[in-house]
Amino acid sequence: MAMYRKLGRTSSQRKAILRSQVTALVNKGKIRTTEARAKETAKIVEGLIALAVKERDNFETVKVTAKVARKDKDGKRVKEVVDGKKVTVYDEVEKEIKKDLPSRLHARRKMLQVLYPVTELPKDVKGKKKNSKEVDLVEKLFDDIAPKYTNRNGGYTRIVKIGQRKGDGALEVLLELV
């Protein structure tokens, strides 16, 4: 007997479907899919959230100095002429950053193996990639999702049956984060 559902796909196709569904669920909070896919997706998401809950506070804050280009009122870099060449002027800024401890770094890399990169487009601009931003789903798991589930031992997802799909009669469900 198999330890997982094969979903009628080759292994590469199955992995791609599950990765995209896990990414969508973490990004949006709920997805609509078939029952078999939902059960497999829920398994993966439960593991990711458990990992995020376990490693949530496993970091240290470190002060670092960084060189940042000086900018004028229009947001353009300020340039100076030095030895006949235009050179950008830099200021040193001190920042506090989170430095992952080794186990949290390992958890972050395990999550990145499963999650696809997500780009969020602004709603008002259609068809243009201007002002699009990359969504850090791993950071979302650690900072937004994991704190909700600190006092909960598993059961982070819920499957709600919707009914049969019109085209092929497959049982559709709503998979959501509790």
- Residue identified by tokens 């499957």 is 159
**Same domain as 21, residue 41:** yes
CB contact at 8 A, 47 and 25: no
pLDDT score, position 128:
65
pLDDT score, position 92:
93
pLDDT score, position 124:
74
In the chain, which stretches have pLDDT less than 70?
1-2, 125-129
For residue 43, give the CATH number of its domain. Answer: 3.90.1030.10
pLDDT score, position 83:
86
The tens digit of pLDDT for each residue in 104-116 reads 999 999 999 999 9
107 within a domain of the structure (yes/no)? no
pLDDT score, position 3:
83
Which domain range does residue 66 map to? 59-100
pLDDT score, position 74:
85
